[in-house]
Amino acid sequence: YRDDRIEIIANDQGNRTTPSFVAFTDTERLIGDSAKNQVAMNPHNTVFDAKRLIGRKFADAEVQADMKHFPFKVIEKAGKPVVQVEFKGEEKTFTPEEISSMVLTKMRETAESYLGGTVNNAVVTVPAYFNDSQRQATKDAGLIAGLNVLRIINEPTAAAIAYGLDKKVEGERNVLIFDLGGGTFDVSLLTIEEGIFEVKSTAGDTHLGGEDFDNRLVNHFVNEFKRKHKKDLTTNPRALRRLRTACERAKRTLSSSAQTSLEIDSLFEGIDFYTSLTRA
């Protein structure tokens, strides 16, 4: 934040957003884009969605439901969920706070290289519906990353500030923040008065986001492949991951085009898969 406005810092790949992915390999630990890019080759040791686990108990219904969809292993330790991976040939476990701290450390390094100095203080954002336990665990992740977490603030409030709404409004105003993200969909109603924000209500779906659009597309094309070739893609994790990557790319293309094509060579048992996708 400088010159009275929010400035988004690009990462080392030139991207203004960094995926919250952490990957463990035989030789190194990868964070962000590099971790997400190798997920097809290393699904069991690439961790994402730590936010769905942080500050929760292992027995939580949500945690149990999410575990069914994670390619990585989640086990119980002292009543809490921890992820189990293989790193440099050894079995390791990490808490959701530790995984989140790795992403925050990466963010800190990105900021430091851009600003040319050390960054110690941070304000960390969380979904408006996070409870005290989830907020405290997020704060702990910041501490592990060596950050002095000044404040935990709600994501819709951060969005309102990023759009300068705290400066633009006169008197008391109601603002609706619509946030459709990669894995969650949140709608929040805020009141703003003299730069003070108050979250009046929140609604949404903690399991609706870009990934769900990808899932729908993947299922659609798995069925199409089955129909055309009488073969089941779901038996091959690598083929599924390649299909998912192609679906995600197609989805993005549809933001600016009315139609796109998917072309995947030798997707399954040497069979090439070519198909098309339209917006409607």
Examine residue 134 and state whether it is found in any structural domain, yes or no: yes
Q: Which residue segment(s) compose the domain that 151 sits in? A: 120-205
Which tokens in the block code for residue 184?
């969650």
153 pLDDT more than 80: yes
What's the pLDDT tens digit per position in 207-247? 888 988 999 999 999 999 999 999 999 999 889 989 999 99
Q: What is the DSSP string of 32-84?
A: THHHHHTTTT-GGGEE--GGGTTT--TT-HHHHHHHTT-SSEEEEETTEEEEE
Distance, in Å, from the CA atom of 157 to the CA atom of 192, rounded to the nearest integer, reads 10
Burial (CB count within 10 angstroms: exposed 0-12, middle 13-18, buried 19+), residue 97: buried
- Mean pLDDT of all residues belonging to the chain: 94
What's the pLDDT tens digit per position in 12-51? 999 999 999 999 999 999 999 999 999 989 999 999 999 9
| 261 and 275 Cβ atoms separated by less than 8 Å | yes
Q: Are residues 174 and 236 in the same domain?
A: no
Q: Closest Cα to residue 98, out of 22, 3, 2?
A: 22
Examine residue 191 and state whether it is found in any structural domain, yes or no: yes
Question: Going by C-beta distance under 8 Å and a sequence separation of 6 or more, which residues neighbour residue 108?
Answer: 119, 122, 145, 146, 147
- Give me the residue label for tokens 């994501």: 155
Q: Closest Cα to residue 262, out of 238, 233, 242, 232?
A: 242
Where a domain ends, among 205, 231, 263?
A: 205
Examine residue 68 and state whether it is found in any structural domain, yes or no: no
Where a domain ends, among 147, 178, 205?
A: 205
Which tokens in the block code for residue 64?
């149990």
Examine residue 235 and state whether it is found in any structural domain, yes or no: yes
Which tokens in the block code for residue 114?
């851009």
- Give me the residue label for tokens 């919250």: 20
166 pLDDT more than 90: no
Q: Are residues 125 and 187 in the same domain?
A: yes
Where a domain ends, among 205, 239, 264?
A: 205
